[in-house]
């Protein structure tokens, strides 16, 4: 395969190895400082512009016929496997993300670094009106921007603020998360048993999530939440949500508050509670919608 | 909810059977299914809600289409999965031979669920002890399994999704037993299904004619 790649004049393999060793280095760097970086996921705040670039492969008929698969890690550490065509599509998407990023940077330059975090702007999105025209304009701009995708480096900040997680966190004492995780340490409940069972099964093989450090962080977030909300406790599926939040958010604590705000304010309520009543409602609504809009799907 | 069918959707068959996999979280329901469908064995993630796969097999000279439903094991998903018992021809009750509580839960919880939600009284059940490749950690003996199976009028097998030992046999024995029950065959028969379909179609056409559609 290596010779094929050089025949295609590609630098895929060396670059990939580079990336992998770099992320390994990062992981190793984190290990000796677990206590000080305990709340930090190694994928947090990834510098995207240098990381997300996937080497461009020039597809040739030869390459397609041979169906060479290319394997690399994406910016959150997931292994992506595909043929030359897939990689080219990913490159196109990556380029669009970079373009979109440039729009964000340009706006930061003209409106100020945190213009979108102004409460009047972020709340303007929800309220759809504002007394000040410029604020309203900003709110509309922001909504359009978000619909086209938030650049990965800005995600931790934008998600945390606009979801309402920041506000939620600010209503309790600063030590809330630390106190919570300390208070529940060593307690065994049906929820913790199921969590422990699912930790190694959550994105198995991921370079950080599937390590003792990753398992421990995910465990603290899930167990912490299970004690915060006993109606939910732990529901399978939350492990994936929390794991992805850990990869995106800057700190473990921010990931926890994102999970809190998602479950308590953003998502349809009761989707994860002990009887999944929210899911039943959703399914019923979906069925009614199908009956109305696409009745032929419901024919026997 | 995701589903995938094996190659050849249009292949004709004599009977279509609905088979359900149930049991505690992490006993290996999805692994057994994957091991049976694709010979491919690796670590799997927990199932959320329900998943299904289709496999075409020939048993006793009959071509069978097996639709195998894989359910989430966590208790709260029971409220979603219970509706999948309807019309099942066979049920595979799975426990993990290395975790005793998965065996006792099968008797105390899952067998009762089956009684509650099953619509086919003659539905075939098979008790399956998974993970026999981890013999040193065994917490449930073969004899105990057999005894409980007998009590619940179920077939019994021990298997390993990892080594694929007895995995094919599990589905084969279940299918051939279903083939022996006339009432199950009736509602799994393609001919009967076709008739029902024709009936509803005819009914629909009448409706359309009644409306006197004009374009």
Q: Residue A81's beta-bridge partner residues?
A: A71
Mean pLDDT of chain B, nearest integer: 85
**Lowest model confidence (mean pLDDT) among A87-96, A139-148, A234-243, B200-209:** B200-209
State the best of A276, A280, A287 to mutate against chain B, taking most chain B CBs within 10 Å: A276
Confidence at residue A11, expressed as pLDDT on a 0 to 100 scale: 32
- State the pLDDT confidence band at B118, using cuts at 50, 70 and 90: confident
Answer left, alpha or beta for residue B67, where phi above 0 means left and psi between -120 and 50 means alpha. Answer: beta
Under an 8 A CB cutoff, do B196 and A300 touch? yes
* Spatial distance between the Cα atoms of A116 and A121, rounded to a whole number of angstroms: 6
What's the complex ipTM?
0.78
Residues 6+ apart with CB under 8 A from A38: A217, A252
Residues of chain B whose beta carbon is less than 8 angstroms from a beta carbon of chain A are: 25-26, 43-48, 72, 74, 76-77, 79-80, 196-197, 200, 204
The residue with tokens 């020939």 is: B58
* C-alpha atoms less than 13 angstroms from C-alpha of A38 in its C-beta half-sphere: 10
- State the pLDDT confidence band at A218, using cuts at 50, 70 and 90: very high
Which tokens in the block code for residue B32? Answer: 């057994």
Which tokens in the block code for residue B14? Answer: 């004599």
Under an 8 A CB cutoff, do A275 and B44 touch? no
Which residues in chain A are closer than 8 Å to B45, comparing Cβ atoms?
201-204, 240
Give the predicted TM-score (pTM) of the model.
0.77
Residues of chain A whose beta carbon is less than 8 angstroms from a beta carbon of chain B are: 194, 197-198, 200-205, 235-237, 239-240, 273-276, 279-280, 299-300
Confidence at residue A10, expressed as pLDDT on a 0 to 100 scale: 34
The helix/strand/coil state of A59 is coil
Domains, chain A, with CATH or none: 10-52 (no CATH), 70-153 (no CATH), 169-266 (1.10.8.270)
The helix/strand/coil state of A73 is strand
Which has more pLDDT, A6 or B214?
Answer: B214
CA A131 distance to own-chain centroid: 34
Give the residue among B9, B153, B142, B147 at the shortest CA–CA distance from B67. Answer: B9
- Is B110:B160 a contact under the CB 8 Å cutoff? no
Give the residue among A103, A105, A142 at the shortest CA–CA distance from A120. Answer: A142
* Spatial distance between the Cα atoms of B45 and A213, rounded to a whole number of angstroms: 19
The residue with tokens 């696409």 is: A294
The answer to whether residue A9 scores a pLDDT higher than 50 is: no
- Say if strands B50-59 and B15-22 run parallel, antiparallel, or are unpaired: unpaired
């Amino acid at each position: 395969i290596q010779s094929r790649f050089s025949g295609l004049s590609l630098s895929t393999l060396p670059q990939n190895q580079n990336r992998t060793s770099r992320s390994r280095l990062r992981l190793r760097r984190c290990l000796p400082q677990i206590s000080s970086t305990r709340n930090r996921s190694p994928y947090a705040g990834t510098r995207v512009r240098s990381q997300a670039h996937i080497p461009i492969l020039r597809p040739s008929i030869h390459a397609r016929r041979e169906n060479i698969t290319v394997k690399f890690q994406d910016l959150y550490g997931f292994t992506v496997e595909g043929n030359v065509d897939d990689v080219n599509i990913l490159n196109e998407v990556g380029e669009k993300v970079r373009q979109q990023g440039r729009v964000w940077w340009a706006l930061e330059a003209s409106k100020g670094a945190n213009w979108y975090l102004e409460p009047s702007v972020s709340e303007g999105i929800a309220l759809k009106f504002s007394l000040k025209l410029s604020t309203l304009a900003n709110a509309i701009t922001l909504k359009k921007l978000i619909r086209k995708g938030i650049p990965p480096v800005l995600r931790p900040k934008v998600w945390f603020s606009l979801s309402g997680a920041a506000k939620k966190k600010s209503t309790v004492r600063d030590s809330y998360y630390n106190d919570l995780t300390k208070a529940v340490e060593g307690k065994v409940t049906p929820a913790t048993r199921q969590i422990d069972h699912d930790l190694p099964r959550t994105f198995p093989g991921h370079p950080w999530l599937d390590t003792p450090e990753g398992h421990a962080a995910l465990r603290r977030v899930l167990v912490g939440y299970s004690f915060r909300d006993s109606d939910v406790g732990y529901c399978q599926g939350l492990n994936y949500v929390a794991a992805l939040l850990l990869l995106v958010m800057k700190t473990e604590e921010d990931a926890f508050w994102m999970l809190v705000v998602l479950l308590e304010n953003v998502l349809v309520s009761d989707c994860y509670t002990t009887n999944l009543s929210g899911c039943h409602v959703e399914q019923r609504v979906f069925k009614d919608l199908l009956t109305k809009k696409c009745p032929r799907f419901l024919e026997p | 909810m995701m589903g995938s069918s094996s190659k050849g959707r249009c292949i004709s068959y004599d009977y279509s059977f609905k088979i359900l996999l149930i049991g505690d979280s992490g006993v290996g329901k999805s692994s057994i299914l994957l091991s049976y469908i694709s010979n491919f064995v690796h670590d799997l993630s927990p199932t959320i809600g329900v998943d299904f796969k289709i496999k075409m097999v020939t048993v006793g000279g009959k071509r069978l289409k097996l639709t195998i439903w894989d359910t989430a094991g966590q208790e709260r998903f029971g409220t979603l999965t219970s509706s999948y018992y309807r019309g099942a021809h066979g049920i595979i009750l799975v426990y993990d031979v290395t975790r005793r509580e998965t065996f006792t839960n099968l008797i105390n919880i899952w067998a009762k669920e089956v009684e509650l939600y099953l619509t086919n009284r003659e539905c075939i059940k098979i008790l399956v002890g998974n993970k026999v490749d981890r013999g040193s950690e065994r917490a449930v003996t073969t004899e105990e399994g057999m005894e409980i199976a007998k009590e619940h009028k179920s077939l019994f097998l021990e298997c390993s999704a990892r080594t694929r030992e007895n995995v094919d046999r599990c589905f084969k024995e279940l299918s051939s037993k279903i083939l022996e029950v006339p009432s199950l065959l009736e509602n799994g028969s393609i001919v009967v299904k076709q008739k029902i379909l024709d009936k509803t179609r005819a009914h629909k056409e009448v409706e359309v004619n009644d409306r006197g559609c004009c374009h």
